[in-house]
Amino acid sequence: MGDEPFPVTPGPTHHPLMFGAGSTPVAPRPLTVAAPGFEQIYDEHVEFVWRSIRRLGVDDGAVDDVLQLVFLVVHRRLSEFAGASSVRTWLFGILLRVVREHRRTLQRKSPHLRHGPKSDDELVQLPDLSPGANPEQALSRAEAAETINKLLGFLDDEKRAVFVMAELEQMTAVEIGEALGIDAKAVYSRLRAARTDFERAAAAMRRRTLGRSP
Amino acid sequence: MSELSRETDALLERGREGESLAPHDRARLKRALLAQVAGVSVVATTSTAAAWTTVAAKVIGVAVIVGSVGFGVATILPPRAPAVASHFSGEANAARSSPTKSATPAVPARAASLAIPTPAVSPPPSPPPASVANEMRSAARAPGTEPEVRAIPPAAAASSSLEEEARLLREADDALKAGEPDRALRVLEELAARFPESALAPERAAERVFALCMAGRQDDAREAAATFLRTQDVGPLAARVRASCGGASH
């Protein structure tokens, strides 16, 4: 009697979860890996966060403010980032929620504002830009990016987020699922639907452009 | 099927890297953010001084968002979910009572959480998985860029000097608010000596102008303002320096 079922030897570098079942003890991960510096995350990912906010359809005038909010949340939650999953997945999950919250705030302030995917009627407002519209002069990268952002406006929020992560950031189904809290199967089905909508808008834009070409 | 056409693919390929943040904006956003993280009120994110009231409101908003984000993180990190939820609801309350300070680095909280090693939940699979977009494309096509699944390399105390700096700047700010310009000036001097090449140098320099004004040292304030405006002549900070006793209009 008196024997403890488990030896109680707590120490700064000991934790039961540090050892895999039946395997040799793994050296504890240095704590610094679990807590990357805030500034480092900012420097490496600000560009990604910035363009993702734009791609999710936040107005130009509000992008800076939304970006600040995203990183304020990141700063507060830094200690929870385990360093095990992709930083970008984690960041995307945060920025999606901040963007959603931003929309809700706008809606409360101006209830007449409608947010949602543009209707097909609005396809005529798309710019006369598409690859092949003028084969001699290829679309510049900035113009292509602008066109993509306009086309994204024809997707609803859910599809838009999946499309941005998959097609523009080239993230994996697992990463996207993690960011959105859905399983990979749902990611595939949303992506298929998103592609259909995006393609329809892009095709309409091309038809219109070609119709005007000499 | 919902395959993208060749033209649409070409458009995506071309536009994927088409947007970038101008270096000037990047630097400006970073300074504003660092100051906000530090809880220093000398900086404004947007172009009007009145923006600060909205920033305070937003910080309260952050606390609310933090609550909802917590749920998402909890689904990724199940072992720590309960602690996470309670920790952040407490912080949200704190933020509500003191909005301008709510962005202060939570150093003790972080230190506490560091003491418990977090188990790796899902180590990055190897070999690197194909992005879902490419995976879903026809096999005939050449594979696209490798997806970026990067874990952040160790960064020992990457933010410690920043936090110390932010703390000092906040101390100067508090001194100024308490009507003690001389104390503010002493702290700002210490800051300048310890972090001469700081990302928060413009905030420090502007704060010094305000402190000199409050101390009644108008000539010194003018000189400091002129030095400041030589390098920073646009932006909300410059506007506030100009409007101070050190500004040209006085």
User: Which pLDDT belongs to residue A193?
Assistant: 96
User: Which pLDDT belongs to residue B173?
Assistant: 86
- Cβ A101 vs Cβ B65: under 8 Å: yes
Yes or no, beta carbons of B58 and A69 under 8 Å apart: yes
Does the beta carbon of B114 lie under 8 angstroms from any beta carbon of chain A?
A: yes
Q: What angle do CA B133, A98, A164 make, to 5 degrees?
A: 15
Task: Please tell me the distance from the alpha carbon of residue B121 to that of residue A82, in angstroms, as a whole number.
Answer: 8
**B151: nearest Cα among B130, B109, B120, B113:** B120
Task: Please tell me the distance from the alpha carbon of residue A150 to that of residue A201, in angstroms, as a whole number.
Answer: 9
Residue with more model confidence, A32 or B239 = B239
Share of chain A above pLDDT 90, in %: 33
The yes-or-no verdict on residue A161 having pLDDT over 90 is yes
The DSSP result for A147-158, as a single string, is HHHHHHTTS-HH
* This prediction's pTM: 0.54
Task: Please tell me the distance from the alpha carbon of residue A86 to that of residue A81, in angstroms, as a whole number.
Answer: 10
The yes-or-no verdict on residue A180 having pLDDT over 50 is yes
Task: Please tell me the distance from the alpha carbon of residue B61 to that of residue B63, in angstroms, as a whole number.
Answer: 5
**B42: nearest Cα among B249, B246, B250, B239:** B239
Phi (first) and psi of residue A64, to 5 degrees: -60, -45
- In terms of phi and psi (left: phi > 0; alpha: psi -120 to 50; beta: otherwise), the region of B141 is beta
Look at residue B187 and give its three-state secondary structure.
Answer: helix
The yes-or-no verdict on residue A51 having pLDDT over 90 is yes
Share of chain B above pLDDT 70, in %: 49
ipTM of the complex: 0.75
Yes or no, beta carbons of A28 and B8 under 8 Å apart: no
B-proximal residues of A, 71-130, CB under 8 Å: 71-73, 75-80, 82-88, 90, 93-94, 97-98, 101, 105, 130
Q: Which of A2-6, A93-97, B1-5, B114-118 has the lowest mean pLDDT?
A: B114-118
User: Which pLDDT belongs to residue B153?
Assistant: 38
Structure tokens at B105: 């680095």
User: Which pLDDT belongs to residue A47?
Assistant: 94
Q: What angle do CA A59, B44, A56 make, to 5 degrees?
A: 20
User: Which pLDDT belongs to residue B21?
Assistant: 87
Q: Which of A132-146, A188-202, B37-51, B105-119 has the lowest mean pLDDT?
A: B105-119
The yes-or-no verdict on residue A142 having pLDDT over 50 is yes
Structure tokens at B67: 């609550």
- Using 50, 70 and 90 to split pLDDT, how confident is the model at B56? very low
Task: Please tell me the distance from the alpha carbon of residue A182 to that of residue B161, in angstroms, as a whole number.
Answer: 39
User: Which pLDDT belongs to residue A38?
Assistant: 84
The yes-or-no verdict on residue A147 having pLDDT over 80 is yes
Q: Which domains can be identified in chain A, with CATH numbers?
A: 38-109 (1.10.1740.10), 120-209 (1.10.10.10)
The yes-or-no verdict on residue B156 having pLDDT over 60 is no
Mean pLDDT of A73-86: 73
Mean pLDDT of A176-205: 92
Does the beta carbon of B94 lie under 8 angstroms from any beta carbon of chain A?
A: no
Residue with more model confidence, B97 or A127 = A127
Does the beta carbon of B27 lie under 8 angstroms from any beta carbon of chain A?
A: no
Task: Please tell me the distance from the alpha carbon of residue B101 to that of residue B37, in angstroms, as a whole number.
Answer: 9
Structure tokens at A160: 């838009």
- Using 50, 70 and 90 to split pLDDT, how confident is the model at B48? very low
User: Which pLDDT belongs to residue B232?
Assistant: 74
- Alpha-helix runs per DSSP H in B77-106: 81-97
Q: What CA–CA distances, in Å, run from B12 to A49, A157, B9? A: 18, 19, 5
Yes or no, beta carbons of B117 and A17 under 8 Å apart: yes
In this predicted model, what pLDDT tens digit does every residue of B94-144 receive, in sequence order? 333 333 333 333 333 333 333 333 333 444 445 556 788 877 775 435 444
In this predicted model, what pLDDT tens digit does every residue of B174-185 receive, in sequence order? 898 899 999 999
- Using 50, 70 and 90 to split pLDDT, how confident is the model at A37? confident
Mean pLDDT of B78-105: 36
Does the beta carbon of A68 lie under 8 angstroms from any beta carbon of chain B?
A: yes
Look at residue A139 and give its three-state secondary structure.
Answer: coil
Yes or no, beta carbons of A36 and B29 under 8 Å apart: no
HSE-CB of B121 using CA atoms within 13 angstroms: 19
Yes or no, beta carbons of A195 and B3 under 8 Å apart: yes
Closest CA in chain B for residue A20: B119
- Using 50, 70 and 90 to split pLDDT, how confident is the model at B58? very low
- Using 50, 70 and 90 to split pLDDT, how confident is the model at A128? low
The yes-or-no verdict on residue B33 having pLDDT over 60 is yes
Closest CA in chain B for residue A30: B154
The yes-or-no verdict on residue A24 having pLDDT over 50 is no
User: Which pLDDT belongs to residue B220?
Assistant: 94
Look at residue B105 and give its three-state secondary structure.
Answer: coil
Structure tokens at B34: 């660092």
User: Which pLDDT belongs to residue A209?
Assistant: 66
